Structure 1
Amino acid sequence: MNLIVVSDVLCVTVVQGQNGWSVNYTSTQICALKGSTVDLNCTYTYPSRVKDNDTEVERTFWFTKDSNYVYVDLRTDSEYSGRVQYHCDKNNCTLRITDLRESDSAEYKFRFITNQPEGEYTGSLGVTLTVTELKCHSSCHLSDGSSYIWKKNGQDISGQTSNSYSGNFDSTDSYSCAVKGHEKFPSLSLLVVDSVVFCVTAGHWGVMYSSTQICALKGSSAKINCTYIYPSRINDHDIEIKETFWFTKGPDNDPVNLSTDSEYSGRVQYHCDKNDCTLRITDLRESDSAEYKFRFITNQPGGKYTGSPGVTLTVTGNIFI
C-alpha cells in the first residue's frame, strides 16, 4: 500500500511596466494549504516627476474584485476580515493572508495611487493563489468508511480521522498519514515551509527551496532562500552542522563555495538562522544566470547533503512591456 500527498508550487518573476510605471510580482502562481498563512510580494515603480511635478504615493492596496474600475481594498472586504495584513516598505509591499480558506483561491493584484493626474497603476498580471487541502491518498481501493491517522513530527494528532487534514500548519513541522489498521504503511513525511509542502527524503535529510525559478534585472540584487533538515542523531551520536554554503560550480560531491569564487567577490552574502539560509547576490550580472544549490556538511561520516534540483536564476537587462 502506497500513501502519498501531493502539492505543487510554481514561482516565476514577472517584470512589467509602461513609461516608468510598473508592478513586479515575485511569484505569479502560488499553491498553499488550507489553514496556513501565505505571503504575496511585489515591487512597484513610478516616475519621480511628471510635467515638473514631484510624484507622491498616496495609497497602496491589494484587491481581487473590481467592477467598472472600482477596486475593493482587501482590508475592507468582509470575507477577509481579520485575516489580511499589509507590510509596505519603500517600493515593496507584501500581502499576508492568514487562516487560508479554499474560497481565497483567486487572482490577487496590487494597485497604487499617486498625486499625479491619472497617476494610478495596477499590475495587470496578478498572483494566482490556489488554496488546497492536505489529503491522504492510497494506491489501494479503500471503503468510504476508512479511518485515517495523522502525525505531526511523529506524534499522533488527536481528532484527525478523515483523509483530509483540517487545522493550522506550523512552519517546519513534518506531517504524515496512514490508514487506521495499516500503520506499518505510512506516507512519506511532508514538511510545511511558508505554507508550501515539500517531501522529506528518507532518513529526514532534505533541502527545500522557496522558489525554483527566479528572474532578476541586471544591476539589481537577488535573494535565494532555503530550509534544510537532518536527523538529530545517527547511531547514538548527535549530529552537528559544520559548514553551510551555496554553489553553482563543481560536482555535488565537491562543490565550490560561492564566497570563495572570484567571479562573485564582494557580491555574495549568506544569512543563516537555525535551519534557514539565504543567499544574497548584489550588482547582478547576466553571467550570474545559473542554477544555485545549497549544501550542508555535518560531523557524521558521509553526512553531507545538497538540495537538488536547485534554484535557476535568470538575469536579464531587458524589461518587457
Structure 2
Amino acid sequence: MEVLHDTSHVLQVCPALLLQSFIWISLMAKGVQYDVTHIVSRMCVVRQSTVLVPCKYTSQYEQVSAAEWLYEKSPEQKVRVSQEPAFEGRVEFVQPDAGNCSLLLRDVRESDAGIFRFVFSTASGRNWTNDQGIRLEVTDAELEVKAESDVVMEGDWILFVCGSCIPSMAVPTYIWSKDGHLHEQHHGNNILVLESVELEDGGRYSCTISGHEGLNSTSAEITVRPGCKLAESFTLKHLTSSS
C-alpha cells in the first residue's frame, strides 16, 4: 500500500536565513565570543562623587553598529542613559573600541541608585548585553544608631553605622567625632562599637568619610545613665542633622 505524505504544512526556510545561520554557527564553533562583562556586579559610591562604571565587551568578526547604556530604576522604569534628562551633562561614554565600554558618571546623586547595563548591536542585527548588569548603590555620611535598649545604662553596648555601604573603588577612612572632637578613625570599616559604656561615653557622635568631608552628616546624642536599668526616661535621642 502506498502511503501519501501531506507536505502542505512543511516549513519553508529562506536560503539567505540558512546561510546566515550557517555562518553564525561556524563562527561560534571557532570560539568566537559575543558578550558584555561588567567586571563587578555591585558598586557603592559616595554621593556627589565621580565614578567610572567598568565594562568590557567582545565582538569578533562583526562590526558594532550601535552601543548604549541602559538604566533601570525598577522593573517598571527602564530608560536609555543618553536620553534621560536626569543624567544630562553628568555622563561620558567611553568610545566602544578595543573592548572598552566603561561609563563615567559625575556628581552622583541618591536618585542614581539602580541597575546599569551596557548593550551593543552587531551588523547582523543581534543585540548583546549582560542581564545582571551593575547595581549602583549610593551612600553618604548618614548615621544609624543601634543600642541594647532605648535607655542607655552603664555596661550597655552601642553600635554606630556610618552610611549604607562602603565605597567599592577607593576604600575610605571613616572619621568618628564626639562633641566635635576626633574620637576614632577606621579604615574601610564604617562601624563604631562602644562596649560596656561608661558615663563619660555620653555625648554627641557624628561621622565623616575621608575625601568627602563636605557631605552633611547626621549626629546622635547619647546619654548614659548610671546604675541599674531603672529607666527614668527615653535617653537615646533622635538623629538630628548637622552640617
Q: Structure 1 or 2: larger strand share?
A: 1
When normalised by structure 1's length, the TM-score is: 0.37
When normalised by structure 2's length, the TM-score is: 0.48
Larger Rg: 2
